Structure 1
Amino acid sequence: MKSLRLILSNPRYFAPAFVFSSLNIWFGTWAIYIPSVKERLQIDKADLGIAIFFLSLGVFTIFPMASKIINKLGVGKATWYGVVLNSVMALFPLIAPNYYMLCLSLFLFGASNGLTDIAMNTLVTEIEKEDKQNFMSAAHGFFSLGGVLVGLGSFLIPVIGNPFFHMLITVLLVLLINIILKRRYYQIKAAPVEKEPFSLKLFKPLLVLGIIGFVSMGSEGGIIDWSTLYLKEITLAPENLIGSGFLAFSAMMTFGRFLGDSISQRLGSVKLVALGAFIAIDGYFLVLSGHTVLAIIGFALNGLGFSVMVPELFRIGGNVKGVESSQGVAFIAGTGYSGFLLGPVILGFLAEGFTLKSSFWALLTSAVLVLLLTMVLSKKKIT
């Protein structure tokens, strides 16, 4: 919890950590109103799926350009501009007058999300380098806290009674706090890196990191989307417990991220990713037992295991020798989000073609793959 105390006691660290929370607050507030947007525009599930695809398309469109934008502006300014862009773009999906404007507004919202995501992770990487302090994992913990705040805010839905007004209040409050904090990071620029010409030797470690990012974030997405149905259909959990797997996963994900930095300083990033994979593997065996209580404990272990993986991957990616931090972070973000979006879809095909339980066997196999890949990384000096 050292990094959590560091963030809460020093505005230099709290400021970028709050950007992490902000990103999830904006996105989560939009997400809780998806049903009302669907109803207001009278679109079916297929149309809604296409609209949400445009949000993902916006994220992936900005990824190849993000590192150039960040390097040109400076990582502090890029983070702040991302905050401003998100504050504006978060409003439009809820007032889109028709389906086509909804798709356009979600594309722009996704692009601003993608820029902010890469900028804030690069910012934390640079501050860690300057100060010799680890707080990347705790910053991702603040992202998870943003989701908790959105969940608490959802109780205000019947009180406020207006999706746009709810988002407007949220945006103004979040923007105000960011305005107060922005001077803590606004002038920060990435330290110059002695870039090496492209080579297979340079690309190999990034490729391994990318595969781990794809698999680990794909597993996160799969558990988030399929854990409730798994408890309902496979373990035959009672109705009041079918959401417990997701709750246990999310709670331990947040808890693990606040512990991750201290453990990372002792073990190193690669060993911590390996430890996370080992814990996740244990969790999957409990999930696959088919017993409700054991499965819930298994989902909790999954959350604990995966909690440290993504922050450590960003930390490693931002410190790869011969690669600019923004480029390394952008590569991890691109592969990771690909997994997050495609993972649940792949699991859906497996569940449809075979059984839902076979999907979780596939997730277990992917966790074993991550563990094996960390052995490859441990033999290479990449930072």
Structure 2
Amino acid sequence: MKSLRLILSNPRYFAPAFVFASLNIWFGTWAIYIPAVKEKLRIDKAELGFAIFFLSLGVFTVFPVASKIINRLKVGRATWLGVVMSSIFALFPLLVPNYYLLCASLFLFGAANGFLDISMNTLVTEIEKEDRQNFMSAMHGFFSLGGVIVGLGSLLAPIINNPALHMALTVLLVLVVNLAFRKRYRHIVAAAIEKEPFSLKLFKPLFVLGIISFVSMGSEGAIVDWSGLYLKEVTLAPEALIGAGFLAFSAAMTLGRFLGDGISQRIGSIKIVALGALIAIVGYVMVLSGNTILAITGFALNGLGFSVMVPELFRIRGNVKGVESSQGVAFIAGSGYSGFLIGPVILGFLAEEFTLKTSFWALLGCAAMIFVAIFAMSRKR
């Protein structure tokens, strides 16, 4: 919890932490009104799914160019630009009058979110380097905390009874707080590095980190989407406990991210990722037991294990010698988002062709693969 105390006691660290929370607040507020948008525009589920695809398309479109823009603007100013763009484009999906403008607005919202994701993680990497402090994991904890804030804010939805107004008030409040703290990071510039030419020696560890990011975030996405159905169909959980797996996973992930920095500082990034993989493996073994209580406990262990992986990958990748931190973060983000979007689809295919339990055996194999890959990296290192 040292990093959490550090963030809450120092505006230099709270400023980027609130940016992390803001991203999830904007996105989560849009998400709770998806049914309202569907009803307003009179579109079916297939059309809605295609529109949401444009959100992902916007994210992926910005990844290849984000690092160049960040380097040109400087990382502090780029982060503030991302905050402003996300604030503006968060409003559009709830205001558009037709389906085609919905697709366009979601593309812009996705691009703004993707750009902010890369710039804010690069910003934290640079602050960590300057101050020799570890708090990347806690920053991702604030992202999770943003989701909790959205959940509490959703209680106001029936009172406000206007999706666009709710989003506008949310955007205004979040933007005002960011405006007050922006001077704490706008001046920050990425440290100059000596670039190295492309070589297999550099590419191999980067490729391994990309695979780990893909698999870990793919597993996260799969648990978010499929844990409830697993408890219902495989463990035959009562109705009241069907959502308990996701709740346990989310709570443990938030806690793990606030604890992760202190552990990382003591044992190092490589070891904490390996430890996270081991915890996730134990979690999957409990999930596969078929017992409801053990499965819920297993989902909690999955959340705890995966909580430290992506923040540590950003930290490792942002400090690779000869590679700009913005490029490293963009690579991890791109790999991770790909896994988060594709993972649940692959899991669904396996569940359809075989059984849902078979697909969770595959997730256990993925966690084992992460452990083997990171262990091999540590040996070579």
TM-score bracket, shorter-length normalisation: over 0.9
Say if 2:294 is the partner of 1:294. Answer: yes
Corresponding residue of 1:162? 162
Corresponding residue of 2:233? 233
Q: Aligned letter for 1:211?
A: I
Q: Aligned letter for 1:320?
A: V
Say if 2:241 is the partner of 1:212. Answer: no
Cα deviation for residue 377 of structure 1 reads 1.5
Q: Aligned letter for 2:224?
A: I
3-state DSSP of counterpart to 1:379: helix
Q: Aligned letter for 1:298?
A: G
Cα deviation for residue 278 of structure 1 reads 0.2
Per-residue CA deviations over 1:234-288 (Å, capped at 9, x if unaligned) read 1111111100000000000000000000000111001000000000000001101
CA distance in 2, matches of 1:274, 1:15: 30
Cα deviation for residue 328 of structure 1 reads 0.4
Corresponding residue of 1:338? 338
Please identify runs of 4+ aligned residues in structure 1 that moved more than 2 A.
Answer: none
CA distance in 1, matches of 2:241, 2:209: 36
When the two structures are aligned, how many residues end up with a matched partner? 381
Q: Aligned letter for 1:184?
A: R
Corresponding residue of 1:189? 189
3-state DSSP of counterpart to 1:154: helix
TM-score normalised to the size of structure 2? 0.99
Cα deviation for residue 361 of structure 1 reads 0.6
Cα deviation for residue 61 of structure 1 reads 0.2
Q: Aligned letter for 1:237?
A: A
CA distance in 2, matches of 1:20, 1:353: 38
CA distance in 2, matches of 1:379, 1:116: 34
Cα deviation for residue 375 of structure 1 reads 1.1
- List aligned pairs for 1:368-383, cutoff 5 A: 368-381=368-381
Q: Aligned letter for 2:53?
A: F
TM-score normalised to the size of structure 1? 0.99
CA distance in 2, matches of 1:352, 1:162: 39
Identity of aligned residues (%): 77
Corresponding residue of 2:358? 358
CA distance in 2, matches of 1:328, 1:151: 32
3-state DSSP of counterpart to 2:380: coil
Say if 2:13 is the partner of 1:37. Answer: no
Q: Aligned letter for 1:268?
A: G
Corresponding residue of 2:313? 313
CA distance in 2, matches of 1:153, 1:351: 35
Q: Aligned letter for 1:62?
A: V
CA distance in 2, matches of 1:240, 1:163: 29
Corresponding residue of 1:152? 152
Corresponding residue of 2:17? 17
CA distance in 2, matches of 1:356, 1:375: 29
CA distance in 2, matches of 1:356, 1:153: 34
Corresponding residue of 1:172? 172
Q: Aligned letter for 1:57?
A: L
Corresponding residue of 1:69? 69
Per-residue CA deviations over 1:169-216 (Å, capped at 9, x if unaligned) read 000000000000000000101000100011111111110000000000
CA distance in 1, matches of 2:324, 2:265: 22
CA distance in 1, matches of 2:92, 2:160: 18
Gaps of 5+ in 1: none
Q: Aligned letter for 2:353?
A: G
Cα deviation for residue 379 of structure 1 reads 2.5
Cα deviation for residue 95 of structure 1 reads 1.2
Corresponding residue of 1:249? 249
Cα deviation for residue 380 of structure 1 reads 3.5
CA distance in 2, matches of 1:42, 1:348: 27
CA distance in 1, matches of 2:141, 2:328: 21
Say if 2:142 is the partner of 1:142. Answer: yes
Gaps of 5+ in 2: none
3-state DSSP of counterpart to 1:91: helix
3-state DSSP of counterpart to 1:90: helix
Q: Aligned letter for 1:172?
A: L
CA distance in 1, matches of 2:16, 2:313: 18
Q: Aligned letter for 1:377?
A: M
CA distance in 1, matches of 2:305, 2:58: 30
Corresponding residue of 1:265? 265
Q: Aligned letter for 2:43?
A: I
Corresponding residue of 1:27? 27
Say if 2:50 is the partner of 1:50. Answer: yes
Per-residue CA deviations over 1:26-45 (Å, capped at 9, x if unaligned) read 00000011111111111111
CA distance in 2, matches of 1:249, 1:90: 27
Cα deviation for residue 376 of structure 1 reads 1.9
